Structure 1
Amino acid sequence: MKFPKKTTMAVAVLLVALVAAAAWWSVSRGNGVEARYKTQAIERGDVIRSVSANGTLNPVILVSVGTQVSGTVKKLHVDFNDHVQKGQVLAELDDILFSSQLGQSEATLRSARATLDLAVANERRMQSLFKQEYASQQDLDSAVQAKKSAQAQVEQYASQVRKDRANLDYSVIRSPVSGVVVDRQIDIGQTVAASFQTPTLFKIAQDLSKMQIDSSFAEADIGAIKVGQPVRFNVDAFPNRSFQGSVKQVRLNPTTQSNVVTYDVVVAVDNPDQTLLPGMTAYVNIMVNQRNDVLTVPNAALRYKPADLKPAKTDPKRNNGSKKKRDASSAVVYVLDAGKPRAINITIGITDNRNTEVLTGELKPGNIVIIGENLPATGNASGNTPRMRMF
Structure 2
Amino acid sequence: MAKLRIPKKPFRLALFAGAAIAAAIAGSMLLSREKAPEYQTAAVTRGDLQVTISAAGKVQPKNFVDVGAQVSGQLEQFHIAVGEKAEKGDLLAEIDETRAAAQVEADRAQLKELNASYAQQQATLELTRANAERAKMLHEADAISRAEYEATSADLKIAEARLAQLDAQKERQQSTLQANIATLEFAKIYAPLSGTIVSQAAVVGQTLNANQTTPTILRIADLSVMTIEADVSEADVLRIQKGQPAYFTTLGGGEKQWRTSVRQVLPQPEVLNDVVLYKVLLDVENPDEQLKPEMTAQVFFITGEAENAVLAPVAALRERPAREDRGGERRRERDGGRNLMAANASEPETSEDDQARVRAGAERRARRARPGMEGMRAASDANPDAERKFVLVMRNGEPQPQPVLVGVSTRAQAEILWGLSEGDVVVTNEKVSAPRIQQNNDRSRRPRGMGRRGPR
Q: CA deviation at 1:142?
A: 0.9
Equivalent residue number for residue 167 of structure 1:
183
Equivalent residue number for residue 75 of structure 1:
77
Equivalent residue number for residue 351 of structure 1:
409
Q: Is the alpha carbon distance of 1:175 and 1:45 closer, same or farther for their aligned partners in structure 2, counting shifts above 3 Å?
A: closer
Q: Distance in 2 between matches of 1:342 and 1:94?
A: 88
Q: CA deviation at 1:383?
A: 12
Equivalent residue number for residue 251 of structure 1:
266
Which residue identity does 2:243 align to in structure 1?
A: G
Q: CA deviation at 1:301?
A: 3.2
Equivalent residue number for residue 310 of structure 1:
none
SS of the aligned residue for 2:166 comes to helix
Q: CA deviation at 1:88?
A: 1.2
SS of the aligned residue for 1:40 comes to strand
Check the 8 A contact 1:116/1:151 in 2, yes or no: yes
Check the 8 A contact 1:231/1:287 in 2, yes or no: yes
> Deviation string for 1:106-125 (max 9, x for gaps)?
11111111111111111121
SS of the aligned residue for 2:229 comes to strand
Equivalent residue number for residue 312 of structure 1:
none
Q: Is the alpha carbon distance of 1:186 and 1:140 closer, same or farther for their aligned partners in structure 2, counting shifts above 3 Å?
A: same
Which residue identity does 1:193 align to in structure 2?
A: N
Check the 8 A contact 2:225/2:287 in 1, yes or no: yes
Check the 8 A contact 1:67/1:173 in 2, yes or no: yes
SS of the aligned residue for 1:282 comes to strand
Q: Distance in 2 between matches of 1:270 and 1:191?
A: 39
Q: Distance in 2 between matches of 1:279 and 1:171?
A: 31
Superposition pairs of residues 49-198 of structure 1, within 5 angstroms? 49-133=51-135, 136-198=152-214
Q: Distance in 2 between matches of 1:343 and 1:268?
A: 48
Check the 8 A contact 2:391/2:426 in 1, yes or no: no
Q: CA deviation at 1:44?
A: 5.8
Q: Distance in 2 between matches of 1:120 and 1:108?
A: 18
Which residue identity does 2:92 align to in structure 1?
A: L
The reply on whether 1:378 has 2:432 as its aligned counterpart is no
Which residue identity does 1:185 align to in structure 2?
A: A
Q: Is the alpha carbon distance of 1:372 and 1:47 closer, same or farther for their aligned partners in structure 2, counting shifts above 3 Å?
A: farther
Which residue identity does 2:74 align to in structure 1?
A: T
The reply on whether 1:234 has 2:249 as its aligned counterpart is yes
SS of the aligned residue for 1:241 comes to coil
Equivalent residue number for residue 336 of structure 2:
none
Q: Is the alpha carbon distance of 1:114 and 1:355 closer, same or farther for their aligned partners in structure 2, counting shifts above 3 Å?
A: same
> Deviation string for 1:184-238 (max 9, x for gaps)?
11111101111232121111112x2222211112233223323333322221112
Equivalent residue number for residue 39 of structure 1:
41
Q: Distance in 2 between matches of 1:262 and 1:256?
A: 6
SS of the aligned residue for 1:188 comes to coil
Which residue identity does 2:302 align to in structure 1?
A: M
Q: Distance in 2 between matches of 1:193 and 1:359?
A: 69
Equivalent residue number for residue 308 of structure 1:
none
Check the 8 A contact 1:331/1:345 in 2, yes or no: yes
Equivalent residue number for residue 291 of structure 2:
276
Query: CA RMSD for the aligned pairs?
Result: 3.8
Q: CA deviation at 1:42?
A: 4.6
Q: CA deviation at 1:346?
A: 6.9
Q: Distance in 1 between matches of 2:396 and 2:292?
A: 61
SS of the aligned residue for 1:244 comes to strand
Q: CA deviation at 1:292?
A: 4.3
Check the 8 A contact 1:184/1:202 in 2, yes or no: yes
Q: Distance in 2 between matches of 1:46 and 1:209?
A: 32
Equivalent residue number for residue 223 of structure 1:
238
Gaps of 5+ in 1: 1-13, 306-327, 387-391
The reply on whether 1:267 has 2:325 as its aligned counterpart is no
Q: Is the alpha carbon distance of 1:162 and 1:303 closer, same or farther for their aligned partners in structure 2, counting shifts above 3 Å?
A: farther
Equivalent residue number for residue 290 of structure 1:
305
Q: Distance in 1 between matches of 2:430 and 2:270?
A: 41
Check the 8 A contact 2:58/2:295 in 1, yes or no: yes
Q: Distance in 2 between matches of 1:220 and 1:303?
A: 27
Q: CA deviation at 1:153?
A: 1.3
Which residue identity does 1:287 align to in structure 2?
A: I
Q: CA deviation at 1:350?
A: 2.5
Which is greater in Rg?
2
SS of the aligned residue for 2:236 comes to helix
Q: CA deviation at 1:90?
A: 1.0
Q: Is the alpha carbon distance of 1:178 and 1:45 closer, same or farther for their aligned partners in structure 2, counting shifts above 3 Å?
A: closer
**Structure ranking higher in strand proportion:** 1
Q: CA deviation at 1:338?
A: 12
**Structure ranking higher in helix proportion:** 2
Q: Is the alpha carbon distance of 1:382 and 1:114 closer, same or farther for their aligned partners in structure 2, counting shifts above 3 Å?
A: closer
Residue correspondences, number: 343
Q: Distance in 1 between matches of 2:275 and 2:405?
A: 31
Q: CA deviation at 1:74?
A: 1.2
Check the 8 A contact 1:33/1:383 in 2, yes or no: no
Q: Is the alpha carbon distance of 1:155 and 1:186 closer, same or farther for their aligned partners in structure 2, counting shifts above 3 Å?
A: same
Relative to the length of structure 1, the TM-score reads 0.75
Q: CA deviation at 1:245?
A: 2.3
Relative to the length of structure 2, the TM-score reads 0.65
